[in-house]
């Protein structure tokens, strides 16, 4: 290889690298705003979803066990009594990466709402934790035009509502969730696992248990300060 060829190779590679970097930075600039907006909207929507009818008072970030922990305080007035509620972000390693969710609990320790913020589980298995169940069959959808689905919250996330975080959350294998097994699950403080993705289910329940403990610590810290 002579010098001319070498210089040419370096030049071509540099120019192409430069063009690629330039177009990517342009694309990045173009999409930063919509992505940030979407994340913000998602967060607000999630908060209103996990704390229905409550108003968010403030957002707190404290350091617990060397890690930052974010939680929200909310309240509502019911029969002239102010009821408090909290929401926190729970995170635990699943099968394909961290599963991040947001959990809302009331002052008795019951889960008011639960929604998954981000996950990178296997599509078709663990990723079904965000699946929205439809009670219509494919043929109903094709041949009977009886309006749109009313159910908008994914079934996996619905089953957490009403569980008690002061007790351990059990995992049962009863197949996909439906309203008929709801009572059995609530009695045993349990959720039904996603078929073929028990690891994902475990990660979610573990993250809620750990997050609840952190929230308790954070609240006692807060009281001590006052």
CB neighbour class for 147 (10 Å; exposed up to 12, middle 13-18, buried from 19): exposed
- Verify binding: residue 125, other proteins, rule CB under 8 A: yes
Phi then psi for residue 104, to 5 deg, are: -110, 130
Residues of this chain, 13-32, that bind other proteins according to CB under 8 A: 13, 16-17, 20, 23-24, 27-28, 30-31
Residues 16, 13: Cα–Cα separation, whole Å = 5
Q: Which of 58, 79, 138, 225 binds other proteins (CB under 8 A)?
A: 138
Nearer residue to other proteins within complex by CB, 132 or 184:
132
Q: Position of tokens 């929205």? A: 132
- Verify binding: residue 44, other proteins, rule CB under 8 A: no
DSSP 8-state assignment for residue 81:
E
Buried residues in 109-125 as b, exposed as e (16+ CB within 10 A): eebbbbbbbebebeeeb
Nearer residue to other proteins within complex by CB, 30 or 224:
30
- Verify binding: residue 151, other proteins, rule CB under 8 A: no
- Cβ–Cβ under 8 Å, residues 150 and 132: no
| Selected range binding other proteins among 59-67, 115-123, 185-193, 210-218, rule: CB under 8 A | 115-123
- Verify binding: residue 141, other proteins, rule CB under 8 A: yes
Residues 130, 48: Cα–Cα separation, whole Å = 17
User: Nearest 5 degrees, angle CA 111-CA 88-CA 94?
Assistant: 90
- Verify binding: residue 121, other proteins, rule CB under 8 A: yes
- Verify binding: residue 12, other proteins, rule CB under 8 A: yes
Residues 66, 43: Cα–Cα separation, whole Å = 24
- Verify binding: residue 172, other proteins, rule CB under 8 A: no
| Selected range binding other proteins among 67-75, 118-126, 151-159, 165-173, rule: CB under 8 A | 118-126
- Verify binding: residue 40, other proteins, rule CB under 8 A: no
Q: Which residues bind to other proteins, rule: CB under 8 A? A: 1, 5, 8-9, 12-13, 16-17, 20, 23-24, 27-28, 30-31, 34-35, 38, 42, 96, 118-121, 123-125, 127, 130, 134, 136-141, 175, 195-196
């Amino acid at each position: 290889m002579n010098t001319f060829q070498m210089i040419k190779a370096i030049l071509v590679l540099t120019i192409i690298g430069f063009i690629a970097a330039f177009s990517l930075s342009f694309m990045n600039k173009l999409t930063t705003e919509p992505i940030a907006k979407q994340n913000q909207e998602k967060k607000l929507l999630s908060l209103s979803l996990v704390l229905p009818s409550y108003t968010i008072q403030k957002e707190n970030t404290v350091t617990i066990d060397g890690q930052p922990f974010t939680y929200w305080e909310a309240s509502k007035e019911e029969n002239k009594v102010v009821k408090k509620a909290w929401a926190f972000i729970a995170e635990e390693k699943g099968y394909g990466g961290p599963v991040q969710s947001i959990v809302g609990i009331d002052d008795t320790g019951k889960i008011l709402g639960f929604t998954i913020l981000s996950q990178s589980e296997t599509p078709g298995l663990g990723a079904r934790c965000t699946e929205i169940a439809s009670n219509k069959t494919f043929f109903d959808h094709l041949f009977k035009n009886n309006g749109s689905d009313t159910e908008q919250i994914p079934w996996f996330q619905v089953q957490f509502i009403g569980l008690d975080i002061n007790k351990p959350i059990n995992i049962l294998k009863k197949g996909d969730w439906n309203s008929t097994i709801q009572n059995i699950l609530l009695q045993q403080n349990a959720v039904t696992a996603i078929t073929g993705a028990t690891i994902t289910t475990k990660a979610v329940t573990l993250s809620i248990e750990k997050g609840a403990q952190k929230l308790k610590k954070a609240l006692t810290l807060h009281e001590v300060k006052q």
